[in-house]
């Protein structure tokens, strides 16, 4: 069984981003970049399925500028077998990414496609579900446990207020949540080995996909900063403030 | 211009999120219809009829919709989509699961987690975990969007909408196996007026008992930081933060929480924030309206005695 894992290059989770002075976008120049943390969990899960003998091949794919190859190499250092880079300098919306991934899936015919539930930059939480719609596959989002049994998959999902378990036939799409697994660190030999693994580069035109412009970003602004209030000296003073000043209790 | 709102419900009751999404729909302006897709969901339908500003409640009551699976509910929405210019759902686990599928089937982009309606085609949404706000204009004929319900006030329950039954019963290949929801007499995190949250400083799951006592005195919900969840003190569905629930209650009491960016992203829109922490340098104090530097194991019992 083949597993396809679409991944994204994002600003490292530990970096606090700033908005550009002209309010056109977030300033990402010279920031540390990384594999989106949810995508890392998706890669880890695919690699574990391969290690347990369920999957035979793990393919990672990313859409973006040349620099995304760095994250594709990282994913291969974590255990993916090969990579596909769909090269474009344009900022694409999730629907356009899903259309490109559909073209990749038509060639690869993966039985399982594992996504991170969202990227930590755009926070869209859309691409997996959109590819599921475009390919008419069943889906299980926000996975915290994945079990493949023959041509069926059982997924436990993190939903509001608890957990839900769904079962569906393959091919299917899974998007992963934080608690599915703890990704491994890439070892130096594996990083070296990843440099020699196959990485195919293709363009949007190669895939024969025509994309539309769906939205315009009018501005990107910093949120209103909350100002620190006052320090109180005792529990009594706190209760007094909450009752008589803030009037919230 | 007609707007469709996908109801957030559990068949038995309509969630407050729906009333908040209707409020976002009212800000767009136009005729508002609600779709209730479920099974034996008449109580939720009745509640939806009462939401102010709603003219029609569409009901798809069939066993196929019992678990509200994205696979077939999205197809149902697409079947009736021709009548609507806007399709909205709350950014809950159901809305986030279903709506992108609807958008892709309609070949339009989705706008996620809208926190402000600027005009009928322009919306504000947070990106980078709320560290920036993006104002986006949709160029698509249909606007499909999830709404962060904590950013809108619920509409009143003074309405009396007409009910229209839909006959489509669409099958899914996805099979519902089981569900386990945390049973609690306390209000839900997303809708609570007051939230009492504990962090790593709580030390253990057992120690959350003093927070629960405080929550019960205040009629509050109990939340937690990711650190407390990762340490195994409490289950993940209590988590407030970038990777958990985004909340905006009238009063948020952070106890033993340092105030990591990821936690602040989930609660900084609360109206009044109280921080109790023994470390005076904790970043949580920078966003708190009232800060108290104290040992929580002394402060919380003292607070319980005073209330």
Structure tokens belonging to residue B205: 């799951």
Taking CB atoms and an 8 Å cutoff, what residues of chain A touch B140? 214-215
Give the pLDDT of residue A105.
Answer: 98
Is residue A221 helix, strand or coil?
strand
Give the pLDDT of residue A66.
Answer: 98
What residues 163-182 of chain A have any CB closer than 8 A to a CB of chain B?
Answer: 163-169, 178-179
Is B294 in Cβ contact with A158 (below 8 Å)?
no
Give the pLDDT of residue B185.
Answer: 86
- DSSP assignment of A97-146 equals HHHHHHHHHHHH--SEEEEES--TTT----HHHHHHHHHT--EEEEEEEE
By C-alpha distance, the chain A residue nearest B102 is: A133
Strand pairing class (A112-116; A172-176): parallel
Strand pairing class (A230-232; A215-221): unpaired
Mean per-residue pLDDT, B175-190:
90
A205 inside 8 A of chain B by CB: no
Residue-wise pLDDT tens digits, A95-121:
999 999 999 999 999 999 999 999 999
Is B92 in Cβ contact with A248 (below 8 Å)?
no
- DSSP assignment of B188-206 equals PGGG-SEEEEE-GGG-SST
A8 inside 8 A of chain B by CB: no
By C-alpha distance, the chain A residue nearest B111 is: A124
**How big is the CA angle at A126 (ends A125 and A130), to the nearest 5 degrees?**
155
- Write down the mean pLDDT value for chain B: 96
Give the pLDDT of residue B289.
Answer: 97
Strand order in the sheet with B290-293: A230-232, B290-293, B272-277, B251-255, B194-198, B221-224
By C-alpha distance, the chain B residue nearest A153 is: B174
Q: Is the pLDDT of residue B158 over 90?
A: yes
Taking CB atoms and an 8 Å cutoff, what residues of chain A touch B179? 159, 162-165
Q: What is the dihedral of CA B191, B196, B201, B203, to 10 degrees?
A: -90
Residue B125's region, left for phi above 0, alpha for psi from -120 to 50, else beta, is: beta
Q: Cα(B195)–Cα(B220) distance, rounded to whole angstroms?
A: 5
- Write down the mean pLDDT value for chain A: 96
Give how far A196 is from chain B: nearest CA, Å.
34
Helix (H) or strand (E) holding A169: strand A162-169
The CATH superfamily holding the domain A2-244 is: HUPs (3.40.50.620)
Give the pLDDT of residue A227.
Answer: 85
Is B236 in Cβ contact with A166 (below 8 Å)?
no
Taking CB atoms and an 8 Å cutoff, what residues of chain A touch B306? 235-236, 239
Residue-wise pLDDT tens digits, B235-250:
988 999 987 888 999 9
Kindly state the percentage of chain B with pLDDT values over 70. Answer: 100
Are the beta carbons of B6 and B87 closer than 8 angstroms? yes
Residue A96 makes CB contacts below 8 A (sequence gap 6+) with: A211, A212, A214
Taking CB atoms and an 8 Å cutoff, what residues of chain B touch A216? 136-137, 139
Give the pLDDT of residue A248.
Answer: 93
Give the pLDDT of residue B182.
Answer: 81
State how far the alpha carbon of A168 is from the alpha carbons of B10, B109, B174, B175, in Å.
22, 27, 5, 6
Give the pLDDT of residue A60.
Answer: 98
Taking CB atoms and an 8 Å cutoff, what residues of chain A touch B281? none
Give how far A87 is from chain B: nearest CA, Å.
21
Is residue A206 helix, strand or coil?
coil
Q: Cα(B207)–Cα(B90) distance, rounded to whole angstroms?
A: 34
Give how far B178 is from chain A: nearest CA, Å.
5
Residue-wise pLDDT tens digits, B259-299:
998 899 899 999 999 999 999 999 999 999 999 999 999 99
Is A19 in Cβ contact with B135 (below 8 Å)?
no
Residue B39 makes CB contacts below 8 A (sequence gap 6+) with: B11, B61, B62, B63, B64, B65, B66
Give the pLDDT of residue B243.
Answer: 79
Give the pLDDT of residue B228.
Answer: 96
Is residue B304 helix, strand or coil?
helix
Give the pLDDT of residue B184.
Answer: 82
Structure tokens belonging to residue A94: 């999730």
Structure tokens belonging to residue A168: 């569906």
- Residuewise pLDDT in 10s, chain A (249 residues): 999 999 999 999 888 899 999 999 999 999 999 999 999 999 999 999 999 999 999 999 999 999 999 999 999 999 999 999 999 999 999 999 999 999 999 999 999 999 999 999 999 999 999 999 999 999 999 999 999 999 999 999 999 888 999 999 999 999 999 989 999 999 999 999 999 999 999 999 999 999 999 999 999 999 988 888 999 999 999 999 999 999 998
Is A168 in Cβ contact with B132 (below 8 Å)?
no
Q: CB-based burial of residue B31 (10 Å sphere; 0-12 exposed, 13-18 middle, 19+ buried)?
A: middle
Residue-wise pLDDT tens digits, B67-100:
999 999 999 999 999 999 999 999 999 999 999 9
Give the pLDDT of residue B100.
Answer: 98
Residue-wise pLDDT tens digits, B91-129:
999 999 999 999 999 999 999 999 999 999 999 999 998
Residue-wise pLDDT tens digits, A37-76:
999 999 999 999 999 999 999 999 999 999 999 999 999 9
Q: Cα(B123)–Cα(B109) distance, rounded to whole angstroms?
A: 13
- Give residue limits of the domains in chain A: 2-244
Closest CA to B158 of B44, B37, B53: B53
Taking CB atoms and an 8 Å cutoff, what residues of chain A touch B275? none
Taking CB atoms and an 8 Å cutoff, what residues of chain B touch A153? none
Give the pLDDT of residue B261.
Answer: 86
By C-alpha distance, the chain A residue nearest B238 is: A161
């Amino acid at each position: 069984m083949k597993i396809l894992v679409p991944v994204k290059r994002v600003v490292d989770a530990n970096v606090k981003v700033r908005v550009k002075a002209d309010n056109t976008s977030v300033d990402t120049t010279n920031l540390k970049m990384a594999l989106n943390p949810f995508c890392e969990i998706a890669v880890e899960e695919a690699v574990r399925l391969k290690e347990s003998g369920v999957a035979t091949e793990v393919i990672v794919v990313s859409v973006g500028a040349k620099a995304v190859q760095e994250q594709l190499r990282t994913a291969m250092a974590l255990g993916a077998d090969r990579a596909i880079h769909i090269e474009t300098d344009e900022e694409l919306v999730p629907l356009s990414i899903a259309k490109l991934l559909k073209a990749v899936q038509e060639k690869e015919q993966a039985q399982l496609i594992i996504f991170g539930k969202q990227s930590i930059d755009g926070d869209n939480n859309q691409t997996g579900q959109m590819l599921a719609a475009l390919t008419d596959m069943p889906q299980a989002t926000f996975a915290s446990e994945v079990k493949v049994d023959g041509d069926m998959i059982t997924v436990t999902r993190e939903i509001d207020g608890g957990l839900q378990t769904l079962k569906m036939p393959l091919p299917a799409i899974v998007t992963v949540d934080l608690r599915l697994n703890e990704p491994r660190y890439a070892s130096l030999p594996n990083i070296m080995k990843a440099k020699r693994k196959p990485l195919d580069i293709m363009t949007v035109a190669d895939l024969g996909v025509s994309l539309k412009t769906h939205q315009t970003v009018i501005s990107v602004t910093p949120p209103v900063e909350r100002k620190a209030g006052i320090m109180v000296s005792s529990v009594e003073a706190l209760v007094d403030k909450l009752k008589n000043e803030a009037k919230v209790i | 211009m007609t707007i469709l709102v996908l109801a957030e419900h559990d068949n038995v009751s309509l969630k407050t999120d729906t009333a908040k999404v209707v409020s976002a729909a009212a800000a767009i302006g136009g005729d508002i219809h609600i779709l209730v897709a479920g099974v034996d969901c008449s109580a939720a339908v009745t509640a939806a009829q009462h939401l102010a500003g709603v003219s029609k409640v569409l009901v798809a009551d069939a066993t196929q919709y019992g678990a509200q699976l994205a696979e077939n509910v999205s197809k149902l929405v697409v079947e009736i989509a021709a009548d609507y210019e806007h399709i909205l759902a709350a950014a809950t686990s159901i809305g986030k699961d279903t709506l992108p599928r609807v958008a892709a089937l309609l070949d339009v982009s989705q706008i996620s987690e809208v926190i402000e309606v600027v005009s009928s085609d322009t919306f504000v949404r947070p990106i980078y975990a709320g560290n920036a706000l993006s104002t986006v204009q949709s160029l698509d004929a249909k606007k499909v969007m999830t709404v962060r319900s904590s950013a809108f006030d619920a509409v009143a329950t003074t309405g009396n909408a007409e009910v229209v039954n839909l006959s489509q019963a669409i099958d899914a290949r996805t099979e519902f196996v089981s569900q386990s929801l945390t049973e609690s007499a306390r209000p839900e995190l997303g809708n609570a007026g007051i939230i009492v949250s504990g962090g790593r400083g709580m030390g253990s799951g057992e120690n959350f008992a003093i927070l629960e006592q405080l929550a019960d005195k205040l009629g509050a919900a109990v939340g937690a930081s990711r650190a407390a969840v990762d340490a195994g003190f409490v289950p993940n569905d209590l988590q407030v933060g970038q990777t958990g629930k985004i909340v905006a209650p009238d009063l948020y009491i952070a106890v033993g929480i340092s105030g990591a960016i990821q936690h602040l992203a989930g609660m900084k829109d609360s109206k009044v924030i109280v921080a109790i922490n023994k470390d005076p340098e904790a970043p949580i104090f920078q966003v708190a309206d009232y800060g108290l530097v104290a040992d929580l194991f002394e402060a919380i019992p003292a607070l319980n005695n005073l209330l």
